[in-house]
Amino acid sequence: MIPFTKHTLGNGLQVVVHEDHHLPLVAVNIWYHVGSANEAPGRSGLAHLFEHLMFKGAEHQPRGFFEPLQEAGGSLNGSTSADRTNYWSVVPAGATELALWMEADRMGWLVPALSVERFETEREVVLNERRQSYENRPYGLAHFALSEAIYPSDHPYHWPTIGYPSDLRAATVDDARAFFQQYYHPANASLAIAGDVRTDAVMALVERLFGDIPAGPELRPPMTPAALPAPRRLLLEDRVELPRLYLVFPSPALFAEGDAVLDVTADLVANGRTSRLYRTLLHDRRRAAGLGAGQGSRELGSLFQVVATAAPGVMLEELRLAVMDELERLATHGPSAAELERARVQAEASFLYRLETLGGFGGKADQLNAYNVYTGEPGYFAQDLDRYLRVTTADVQRAVRTFLSTSQAALLSVVPQGQRQWALDGSEPAVVTT
């Protein structure tokens, strides 16, 4: 579906090129296979803080990273997850060399420009980001509480990607330099270029700009996840108006058996107006004020969640029972033929809509890199779609029975300050490290 060629430079850098000449536009996208899962305990948040530092400008970029690319008409951003860090720019075709040069310069020559002052200012920016996006946002700490409860303290998914404030404050510029030396090098990166380029010409450019950056140390993947602790009931008081229940189940890793089935299951159960719980809990009975579900796919193991916000006056126990009943029904009877047909059409359409943009989060260049980094095969698009098209009633029944049983759930009640009476019985206060 996305024609491409894949190349590997002598230093190990993998390069994927996709030509699309509809518009004079080019997407440059680079993934470093490092995320918060690679962090050492006590240094949480370093991968994400480092992502910020990558935008401060490398040695030969005295005007910083943003300004030259914005002046060239580019749009750019980056993001960090537990598993990877990605950076992208979308530029007019004439600025392709500039965009690649900027990436190469920060891959090779970031450290000489990394001053203590830059580091400390950016740490403050990240602490602001944490307060704005999580601490000061309703329900913003719920996922932190769940990760800390579900994963043991030495598990790479135990701590939040944004980091603990105390760890961020303790980090030094030397930590950042060491992090760069260990993880930011050609053999740990995948570069995708999509758009109005000629493959031969752009590969010559890539060879010239990236080819002389030395390969780095060999890396080991993060530790294998340890066994998960027993299920539990947790409670968080927050600056919120309505109580909300999170039902969270450990589930298969990204691309593992059952991953796509659970993604489809999430839509069937509680996503959008066509979902079962929307009809019963929200539309018909109005016991919920909001609903959602998702299979949060990650490299080392995933979490499947159903989130239900109570309508005023409704106890979270009532929502828990309704969700578990629906899962039980799904395990017993499976989805209807109409539900599965809808899921197939939606998969086909959503995969097609994903081909509309060259760059940015989720654009074609980002997808090529995601497939390349996680499966080694940039052209995994068709196999990925196929996982959704072939989901059967029996698959859904089996996945629900195997993964979504009460005995495996972590249940978090988030309630307004001082109103624990709405929470599930037997819930203990959640830990959110600050």
Site for other proteins in 167-206 (CB under 8 A): 181
Question: Binding segment for other proteins among 79-87, 256-264, 284-292, 399-407 (CB under 8 A)?
Answer: 284-292
Asked whether 234 and 411 are in contact (CB, 8 A), the reply is: yes
Task: Decide: helix, strand or coil at residue 62.
Answer: coil
Site for other proteins in 238-277 (CB under 8 A): 239-242, 272-274
Q: Token pair of 62, please?
A: 């005295």
Q: Tell me whether residue 71 or residue 386 sits nearer to other proteins (CB atom).
A: 71
Site for other proteins in 93-152 (CB under 8 A): 93-98, 101-102, 105, 108-109, 111-112, 120-125, 127-129, 131-133, 135-138
Number of residues that bind other proteins (CB under 8 A): 87
Q: Tell me whether residue 72 or residue 203 sits nearer to other proteins (CB atom).
A: 72
Q: Token pair of 334, please?
A: 């499976």
Report if residue 289 touches other proteins, rule: CB under 8 A.
Answer: yes
Specify the DSSP element, H or E, that contains 129: helix 116-130
For residue 188, count other CB atoms closer than 10 A to its CB. Answer: 22
Q: Which DSSP letter does residue 281 get?
A: I
Q: Which residue reads 């929200």 in tokens?
A: 282
Among 245, 254, 282, 330, binds other proteins (CB under 8 A): 282
Contact letters for other proteins, residues 54-73 (x by CB under 8 A)? -----xxx--x-xxx-xxxx
For residue 212, count other CB atoms closer than 10 A to its CB. Answer: 12
Q: Tell me whether residue 150 or residue 307 sits nearer to other proteins (CB atom).
A: 307
Answer left, alpha or beta for residue 376, where phi above 0 means left and psi between -120 and 50 means alpha. Answer: left
Question: Binding segment for other proteins among 34-42, 167-175, 233-241, 327-335 (CB under 8 A)?
Answer: 233-241
Asked whether 40 and 175 are in contact (CB, 8 A), the reply is: no
Q: Token pair of 303, please?
A: 């979490």
Site for other proteins in 372-391 (CB under 8 A): none
Cβ-Cβ contacts under 8 Å for 382 (sequence gap 6 or more): 1
For residue 121, count other CB atoms closer than 10 A to its CB. Answer: 12
Distance CA 99, CA 72 (A): 9
Report if residue 290 touches other proteins, rule: CB under 8 A.
Answer: yes
Q: Tell me whether residue 23 or residue 256 sits nearer to other proteins (CB atom).
A: 23
Q: Tell me whether residue 25 or residue 424 sits nearer to other proteins (CB atom).
A: 25
First-to-final CA distance of the chain: 45
**Min dist. Cβ of residue 297 to other proteins (A):** 22
**Min dist. Cβ of residue 67 to other proteins (A):** 4
Question: Phi, psi (5° rounding) for residue 61?
Answer: -120, 70
**Min dist. Cβ of residue 285 to other proteins (A):** 10
Alpha helices in 161-304 (DSSP H): 165-170, 173-183, 199-210, 259-270, 276-277
For residue 105, which of 29, 210, 189 has the smallest C-alpha distance? 210
**Min dist. Cβ of residue 93 to other proteins (A):** 6
Among 5, 23, 201, 419, binds other proteins (CB under 8 A): 23
Question: Binding segment for other proteins among 80-88, 150-158, 247-255, 308-316 (CB under 8 A)?
Answer: 308-316
Q: Tell me whether residue 79 or residue 274 sits nearer to other proteins (CB atom).
A: 274
Report if residue 211 touches other proteins, rule: CB under 8 A.
Answer: no
**Min dist. Cβ of residue 191 to other proteins (A):** 17
**Min dist. Cβ of residue 293 to other proteins (A):** 16
**Min dist. Cβ of residue 349 to other proteins (A):** 3
**Min dist. Cβ of residue 352 to other proteins (A):** 6
354 by Cβ neighbours in 10 Å (0-12 / 13-18 / 19+) ranks as middle
Asked whether 59 and 112 are in contact (CB, 8 A), the reply is: yes
